[in-house]
Chain A
Amino acid sequence: MIDFTYTLFIVLIPMAMFLLLGLVGHKMKSFAGVLGTFGLGVSWILSIITAYQYFFVAGKIEGVYQKIIGFNTVWLHLTDKLHIDMGILLDPISVMMLIVVTTVSFMVHLYSIGYMKGERGFERFFAFLSLFTFSMLGLVVATNIFQMYIFWELVGVSSYLLIGFYYQKPSAVAASKKAFIVTRFADLGFLIGILILSFNTKTFDFIALTDVNGAAIATGAGASFLGLSVMTWSLIFVFMGGAGKSAMFPFHIWLPDAMEGPTPVSALIHAATMVVAGVYLVARLFPIYAISAPEGLMVVGYIGCFSSLFAAIIACTQFDIKRVLAYSTLSQIGYMMVGLGVSGYGGHEGLGYMASMFHLFTHAMFKALLFLGAGAIIHAAHSNYMNEMGGLRKYLPITHITFLIACLTISGVPFLSAFFSKDEILTAAYYHNRIIFWVELFVAGLTAFYMFRLYFRIFWNKEPQYHHTPRESPLTMTIPLIFLAIASIFAGYIPFSKFVSSDSVPFESEIELGLAIPSVIVGLLGILIAFVMYKKETSIPDKVAASFRFFYRWAYNKFYFDELYLFVTKKIIFRYISKPVAWFDRYVVDGTMNGISAMTNYMSYQIRGFQSGQLQQYAFVFVSGAIGLALVIMYLLIH
């Protein structure tokens, strides 16, 4: 049995970097970037070692991957059964996530040395990046649901700090606030879910909760509320938290605005790592979802499906490069949720689970690549909008090739990584829920379309007058692009089902040609349409938009959801709840107190007449009192 305690360093090194850079970073200037990247590099290498040791050396016992505790300590003892621990849990998906998070984070760190060079707050940026990586790693290796919640919140704060990095821009401040509050609201659901779940199962520990033969899964099957069991309700609430972080409908509104942050932040947080936390949460609790709360899994599937369609439609109309990629992320995460939603438990039934995790892995690679490439493009063209660009293939060769590889990958072109992962999701969907299958097939076509719309519009099409000649980025920025491109191509060849599966037992999975071919055709169709519309400058896009007029306007304005939410918060919560409460407090509750004092004043004013200064009035009162007293005493003496 190998001692995995060294995995503690994977999580602690970024935290140490955060403290170091936060406290003394401003004395280090540009060395801060190197230091931060170095720290991450060490974590990355340790993660690879861990993965090797886990998957190839010590993880499997009798053909089943074990859940290994690398480290554990009691942090807070709540009741005699419930205690919050801090620890490291190693199992197939957590080790996979360690690789994903550290790889993408390392690439982003490297990239940021060049991208953020010379910017104010350079050290602050690297400190926050380390904080984020620490939080995400802590979330991923959590041994119990409360530890996950703790790091969930920390991830949220890191995201707030990073989105609001350019804090003097009002739009960035607003975007960071929106992100935090929307996810906080979802976290409320998560908290309620944890409370209900722990009340019924009397434990926070993941191993105890997801033990198929254990007591936790068996409890709660009894009690029921409005037709769904208590377990289902608690898991739906928990999913609400996951939906918030993963920007699923209806919590999706924060993700597009989060593009206000610097592009490396978008690559790290809003493409590859934080937004998949929700998927990871469902995966972590998958045995309970699959066995005790299948309705919950249905909710997951449908919301994922709807979100992916919704986001894909909007992505077809946007002009801001980063927004297209943001909606694309939303759509792909929808795919991952769908994969989980249509999955069963155990062996081949768990194909959806495996496919979802596989897609998470590949998506992290190519989406990070897309965002980092977008960063290079934005840097070169000094604009975020694709209708101000064109013909960049001549100026940015490396960026062009890597971006093209990523676009081909996401469109599901055969032999690139996403072809394998996406098709396995579609296969799982086909066998479980036909409606979801057809919708996701359509979305695959839309995906290919809008990605190549983006590609052709930027790198081909008509070239505008550039103020400065666009130049290729420095080496620190292109090396990560190349690395991620290679990962995007070859990650698909990893026999994922041998490592990750719903019950930790490896199984064989093949590509079903009957289902793969339609998806490839749909993808190629999308690419073709985009080619026709966007490769050269034409008026076709405008004509199409005009003919769809009404629908187009709705999609362009993101179906007015932002306005709806703004309405609810500004008008309803602020004006109709908060202001009346404040008014009530000042004029009614406080008014009562002021009223009491006013009444006391009034009474005192009336009574003061007793002190008139008139001698004879005093004497009259005195005599009356004496006579009264005498009468009383006589009465009492007689009786």
Chain B
Amino acid sequence: MNILSLFVIIPILTIFALMATKSFKQARVVAAIGMGIQLITAAVLVFWYLHERSAGNTAEMLFYQSHVWFESLNICYTVGVDGIAVAMIALTSIVVFAGIFASWDVEFLTKEFFISLILLSSGVFGFFISLDLFTMFLFYEVAVIPMYLLIGIWGSGPKEYSAMKLTLMLMSGSALLLVGLLGIYFNSAPTGGALTFNILDISKITIPIEAQRFFFPLTFVGFGVLGALFPFHTWSPDGHASAPTAVSMLHAGVLMKLGGYGCFRVAMFLMPEAANEMAWIFIILTTISVVYGAFGAIAQRDLKYINAYSSVSHCGLVLFALLMMNKTAMDGAIIQMVSHGLMTALFFALIGMIYGRTHTRMINEMGGLMKVMPFLAVVYVIAGLASLGLPGLSGFVAEMTIFVGSFQHPDIFHRVCTIIACSSIVITAVYILRVVGILLLGPITNDHYLHLDDAKWYERTSTIALILPIAGIGLAPLWLFNMIGDSLAPIINQLSFIGF
């Protein structure tokens, strides 16, 4: 049994175990144990991967395994990982683990909630391990559909509207994506031979350029909808605001990275020529995302909306860096995916905890929480500092790698866009400090708050599980940087053929 398939099997076993539970307390314990095992498996994977690499294994994908599924259409269940996928898997397992603990208080239909959540996470894991386009798409859908239930039933505010909008927009993105994938499939054998869905095989051949010009935008936009590409990002503010805590954590932290990962692994890896030609359009859109999202965040008054716009800005930076198409910028993009995933999960967890106590998310109604909930407040400040790119935390590493890498691009246009994107460090500082000042500092505005208690053990577990990797990557990034950098070799080779 391949270790990678474990990442899909363990969640499914957890779901079966959950179906057998009888009370909400049992359900959450089972979920925690299941995802704890998942986290340990991820750690094992990371260490095993690094060990294999240092032992000299230079295969493109490690732990490769393939089972034929539909022979006539050449669809296989193919799994394999490289450094980037390993990083993403590690991110997901940490965020899911933290998310289970952040949802310790859910009492309404707890069993069904955890089942949906874990089903969603199994889809995400499956996406990261797949190397067959069809299987990848299948897992992608598995990751998107439970969102509707999770937001619509356990959400808050205009949850039906948000759930509907989120699901429909993501579905239309995947509709575009399906067209793109089929386009790739039908062009996967230009010189004769069998059509294939296997990513590695397709990357070795060149898809005809006319087909690429048509299908690259479709695929990129299809993944971009999930990756918060302007102007397809509007499902994000309402969706995140109405979703329950763990769902927001998982969605902003991990699902939005599916978009970035897909853009990288499918759109750009398989169609590099078109990517090179059309990059400028998407660079303009992503630069707008970065600055627009940040400005939009300043004017918001609801904590979750601020964070949602912040996510739009940071995820825009991911796509921006990917489009620069040089090793450093792409390395930075992947680190930003990991870093932002952890940070935004932490933010949403904290917001959920604050909301659970004060029952409001509007910052004007709260104030002086540092006195009342010191642990949560300090963690919030640390998360905020990570978001604005303080050295010593992961956000700085990611952003600086992106800026330096993007600036190395020979074209003036790209460098000007890089400088515009750099301005986001100031705008981010503005809205982060604004929120910290209104929410946490200053005098206590509401006397009811004096009775609120600080974080409980499960909340501490959740937040510390997220802070440790943020600080770890911030202080010692070289191992992650190298792990990802080595795995970028195939795509950089591809790009060098087109004269980079």
With contacts A173-B442, A581-B296, A590-B234 known, is A76 near B478, CB below 8 A? Answer: yes
Interface segment, B107-115, B245-253, B391-399?
B391-399
In contact, A154 and B392 (Cβ under 8 angstroms): yes
CA distance A188 to B234 in the complex (A): 29
Interface segment, A50-58, A176-184, A414-422, A490-498?
A176-184
CA distance A150 to B395 in the complex (A): 12
The listed residue (A78, A191, A594) touching B401 by CB distance below 8 A is A78
- The B interface is mostly helix, strand or loop, or mixed, namely helix
Q: Provide the B348-377 mask, 1 if CB < 8 A to any CB of A, else 0.
A: 000000000000000000001011000000
CA distance A516 to B230 in the complex (A): 64
Interface segment, B88-96, B206-214, B317-325, B418-426?
B418-426
In chain B, residues 411-444, which have Cβ atoms closer than 8 Å to a Cβ of chain A?
415, 418-419, 422-423, 425-426, 429-430, 433-434, 437, 440-443
In contact, A578 and B429 (Cβ under 8 angstroms): no
A164 lies within 8 A of chain B by Cβ: yes
- The A interface is mostly helix, strand or loop, or mixed, namely helix
Interface segment, B53-61, B70-78, B264-272, B402-410?
B402-410
In contact, A177 and B295 (Cβ under 8 angstroms): no
In contact, B392 and A185 (Cβ under 8 angstroms): no
In contact, B437 and A173 (Cβ under 8 angstroms): yes
Residue of A nearest to B327 (CB): A79
B contact residues around A173 at 8 Å (CB): 437, 441-442
For B169, B292, B299, B392, the residue with the greatest tally of chain A CB atoms inside 10 Å of its CB is B299
Residue of A nearest to B409 (CB): A199
Q: Looking at chain B, what size class is its interface with the partner chain?
A: 35 or more
CA distance A582 to B292 in the complex (A): 9
With contacts A195-B404, A195-B418 known, is A77 near B299, CB below 8 A? Answer: no
Nearest CB of A to B67, in Å: 39
In contact, B295 and A581 (Cβ under 8 angstroms): yes
CA distance A177 to B384 in the complex (A): 13
B142 lies within 8 A of chain A by Cβ: no
With contacts A77-B481, A150-B391 known, is A577 near B404, CB below 8 A? Answer: no
In contact, A76 and B426 (Cβ under 8 angstroms): no
The listed residue (A146, A195, A590) touching B407 by CB distance below 8 A is A195
Residue of B nearest to A185 (CB): B426
Count, A-B residue pairs, CB within 8 A: 129
B385 lies within 8 A of chain A by Cβ: yes
B contact residues around A577 at 8 Å (CB): 295
CA distance A574 to B391 in the complex (A): 27
In chain B, residues 229-260, which have Cβ atoms closer than 8 Å to a Cβ of chain A?
230-231, 233-235, 237-238
B contact residues around A191 at 8 Å (CB): 403, 422, 425
A contact residues around B238 at 8 Å (CB): 590
In contact, A181 and B299 (Cβ under 8 angstroms): no
In contact, B292 and A581 (Cβ under 8 angstroms): yes
B328 lies within 8 A of chain A by Cβ: yes
A contact residues around B482 at 8 Å (CB): 77
A42 lies within 8 A of chain B by Cβ: no
In contact, B419 and A76 (Cβ under 8 angstroms): no
B contact residues around A199 at 8 Å (CB): 407-408, 415
In chain B, residues 432-485, which have Cβ atoms closer than 8 Å to a Cβ of chain A?
433-434, 437, 440-443, 477-478, 481-482, 485
B contact residues around A198 at 8 Å (CB): 404
B contact residues around A170 at 8 Å (CB): 442-443
The listed residue (B389, B433, B441, B478) touching A168 by CB distance below 8 A is B441
In contact, B423 and A188 (Cβ under 8 angstroms): yes
Nearest CB of A to B435, in Å: 11
B contact residues around A192 at 8 Å (CB): 419, 422
A589 lies within 8 A of chain B by Cβ: yes
A75 lies within 8 A of chain B by Cβ: yes
CA distance A579 to B298 in the complex (A): 8
B390 lies within 8 A of chain A by Cβ: yes
Residue of B nearest to A178 (CB): B433
CA distance A559 to B145 in the complex (A): 60
A contact residues around B419 at 8 Å (CB): 192, 195
A contact residues around B328 at 8 Å (CB): 78-79
In chain A, residues 329-349, which have Cβ atoms closer than 8 Å to a Cβ of chain B?
none
In contact, B397 and A76 (Cβ under 8 angstroms): yes
Nearest CB of A to B416, in Å: 11
A61 lies within 8 A of chain B by Cβ: no
The listed residue (A79, A154, A592, A593) touching B390 by CB distance below 8 A is A154
A contact residues around B295 at 8 Å (CB): 577-578, 581-582
B contact residues around A187 at 8 Å (CB): 425
Q: Provide the B311-353 mask, 1 if CB < 8 A to any CB of A, else 0.
A: 0000000000000000110000000000000000000000000
A512 lies within 8 A of chain B by Cβ: no
In chain A, residues 58-103, which have Cβ atoms closer than 8 Å to a Cβ of chain B?
74-79, 82, 84
B contact residues around A573 at 8 Å (CB): 298, 430
In contact, A79 and B405 (Cβ under 8 angstroms): yes
In contact, A578 and B425 (Cβ under 8 angstroms): no
CA distance A173 to B371 in the complex (A): 14
A contact residues around B370 at 8 Å (CB): 167
In contact, A579 and B299 (Cβ under 8 angstroms): yes
The listed residue (A74, A82, A184, A574) touching B478 by CB distance below 8 A is A74
CA distance A177 to B440 in the complex (A): 13
CA distance A574 to B165 in the complex (A): 29
B300 lies within 8 A of chain A by Cβ: yes
A13 lies within 8 A of chain B by Cβ: no
A contact residues around B443 at 8 Å (CB): 168, 170
For B165, B169, B429, B482, the residue with the greatest tally of chain A CB atoms inside 10 Å of its CB is B429
In contact, A582 and B299 (Cβ under 8 angstroms): yes
The listed residue (B296, B423, B437, B481) touching A177 by CB distance below 8 A is B437
The listed residue (B403, B426, B434, B477) touching A195 by CB distance below 8 A is B403
Residue of B nearest to A593 (CB): B234
The listed residue (A78, A169, A589) touching B405 by CB distance below 8 A is A78
The listed residue (A168, A195, A574) touching B368 by CB distance below 8 A is A168
B20 lies within 8 A of chain A by Cβ: no
A174 lies within 8 A of chain B by Cβ: yes
In contact, B407 and A181 (Cβ under 8 angstroms): no
CA distance A365 to B268 in the complex (A): 59
B contact residues around A563 at 8 Å (CB): none
Nearest CB of A to B411, in Å: 12
A157 lies within 8 A of chain B by Cβ: yes
B contact residues around A5 at 8 Å (CB): none
A597 lies within 8 A of chain B by Cβ: yes
B205 lies within 8 A of chain A by Cβ: no
Nearest CB of B to A199, in Å: 6
A388 lies within 8 A of chain B by Cβ: no
With contacts A153-B396, A184-B426 known, is A76 near B298, CB below 8 A? Answer: no
A585 lies within 8 A of chain B by Cβ: yes
Nearest CB of A to B294, in Å: 9
Nearest CB of B to A452, in Å: 38
B44 lies within 8 A of chain A by Cβ: no
In contact, B299 and A82 (Cβ under 8 angstroms): no
A contact residues around B423 at 8 Å (CB): 188
A contact residues around B230 at 8 Å (CB): 589
17 A-B pairs within 8 Å (CB atoms) are namely A74-B478, A77-B478, A79-B328, A79-B404, A153-B391, A160-B433, A168-B368, A168-B441, A168-B443, A191-B403, A191-B422, A191-B425, A579-B299, A582-B295, A589-B230, A589-B233, A593-B234
Please give the residue numbers on chain B whose beta carbons come within 8 Å of chain A beta carbons, in ascending order. Answer: 165, 168-169, 230-231, 233-235, 237-238, 292, 295-296, 298-300, 309, 327-328, 368, 370-371, 385, 388-392, 396-397, 400-401, 403-405, 407-408, 415, 418-419, 422-423, 425-426, 429-430, 433-434, 437, 440-443, 477-478, 481-482, 485
Please give the residue numbers on chain A whose beta carbons come within 8 Å of chain B beta carbons, in ascending order. Answer: 74-79, 82, 84, 146, 149-151, 153-154, 157, 160, 164, 167-170, 173-174, 177, 180-181, 184-185, 187-188, 191-192, 195, 198-199, 573-574, 577-579, 581-582, 585, 589-590, 592-594, 597
Excluding A77-B481, A192-B419, A594-B165, 6 further A-B contacts by CB distance (< 8 Å) are: A82-B404, A153-B391, A181-B429, A581-B299, A585-B234, A593-B165
Q: Which 6 A-B pairs have the closest CB atoms?
A: A150-B391, A582-B299, A578-B298, A590-B234, A578-B299, A581-B295
